[in-house]
Amino acid sequence: MDNFELSGNIEQAQNFLESIKNGRFLFSFVISYTETCEVPGITFAGADKNSIKFTPPADAEYLHYGYCKSIDKIPMTPDGKPTPGVLTKTALESSSISHLTINAGSKVVPQLPFIETGLPSGKNISEQDAMTDSIVSHAVDYGRIVGRNLASLTDCLIIGESIPGGTTTALSTLRGLGFDAKVSSSIPNNPVELKNQIVSSALERIDSDHPYSIVAKIGDPMIPFVAGMLSSASAVSKVMLAGGTQMTAVLAFASKIGFNEENAAIGTTTYITNDQSANFNSLVEKIADIPAISVDPGMKNSQFPGLKAFSEGFAKEGVGAGGCIISSMLKSGYDSSKFLEMTEKEYHRLSTSQ
């Protein structure tokens, strides 16, 4: 447990970790898309605008195959910073945690078997509503079904996501639901201004205080779907929301539709919880009485600039990295330096195989 930083209800955090450490884990990876990511400068997920839509399926393919099929390299920035999926992949492999991919609105379907939900991608909230109220209902209903199904097969359901532009829709959803949120980003010089402009214009469209209407206007399909998963899964098993800002938006919406706080926690990296541009832990505390657990992946000591970048504010979280590292450390009992060693081995394999 020394590897983790606990925030919020500390005793609940310790009980949560204690209760899952000898159990079975299942990682569910939810891929989605919001056209908001097409606003220039909003995200670096994916090298350029045309490739952004391939990032979620490519992350899913990489986790499964160890390489991508939709694109010829793993998702990487122009200057070679890899997807946080490298951390997730290392964590899952090192402790044999199985995983399933769920398509909740990705523009491109992954080239592997996946759980289909029939959800469309989200529209660009700077221009129009993200989706209709009935799509939100569909997302919540199907999320509840998938959450119940998967929770019945494990002791701890880890839920991660990949949705380019998702921090912006998360920010607007949080604000729309009444939480004063600052939001983290996958870019060191967080384009806060641009995001605030988009969010402000989007917030003007809100004409109802019904959470379904709010998320329909300014959210994305991932948020109501994962909230639905949390609401049903937390009734039967432990659930770890694995992620940063996006998962606080999920938590905010889930707090409106209801879920079992006793069985829930949010797990992320210290790159998120120590991010000065955001206010992660206090935000989680404002939203719900669940623990926030964070882990230091140890990348600051990496010999590879591409991995060291994670500790310098680049892609601090994503693909459920933090929650998967926490679960993996609980299951296999290693520490951050061992995790760094394994991650460098994987990063080296990728660099030499591509």
Closest CA to 196 of 182, 176, 186, 214: 182
What is the smallest separation between the CB atom of 207 and a copy of itself, expressed in angstroms?
31
Q: Which residues of 308-330 are buried (b: 16+ CB within 10 A; e: fewer)?
A: ebbbebbbbbbbbbbbbbbbbbb
Query: For residue 310, how many C-alpha atoms fall within 13 Å in the half-sphere facing its CB?
Result: 32
Q: Which is nearer to a copy of itself, 71 or 183 (CB)?
A: 71
Q: Which is nearer to a copy of itself, 100 or 278 (CB)?
A: 100
Q: Which is nearer to a copy of itself, 114 or 310 (CB)?
A: 114
What is the smallest separation between the CB atom of 313 and a copy of itself, expressed in angstroms?
35
Q: How far is it, in rounded angstroms, from Cα 222 to Cα 163?
A: 8
Q: Which is nearer to a copy of itself, 124 or 154 (CB)?
A: 154
Q: How far is it, in rounded angstroms, from Cα 39 to Cα 173?
A: 18
The type of residue at 290 is I
What is the smallest separation between the CB atom of 268 and a copy of itself, expressed in angstroms?
25
What is the smallest separation between the CB atom of 119 and a copy of itself, expressed in angstroms?
10
What is the smallest separation between the CB atom of 275 and a copy of itself, expressed in angstroms?
34
Q: Is 219 exposed, middle or buried (0-12, 13-18, 19+ CB in 10 A)?
A: buried
Q: How far is it, in rounded angstroms, from Cα 20 to Cα 27?
A: 14
Q: Which is nearer to a copy of itself, 287 or 324 (CB)?
A: 324
3-state SS assignment for residue 350? helix
**Using CB under 8 A as the criterion, which residues of the chain lie in contact with a copy of itself when the complex forms?**
24, 26, 64, 98, 100, 102-103, 109, 112-118, 142, 145-146, 149, 152-154
Q: Which is nearer to a copy of itself, 155 or 285 (CB)?
A: 155
Task: Return all residues near 249 (Cβ < 8 A) that are at least 6 apart.
Answer: 169, 170, 171, 173, 174, 219, 223
What is the smallest separation between the CB atom of 143 and a copy of itself, expressed in angstroms?
9
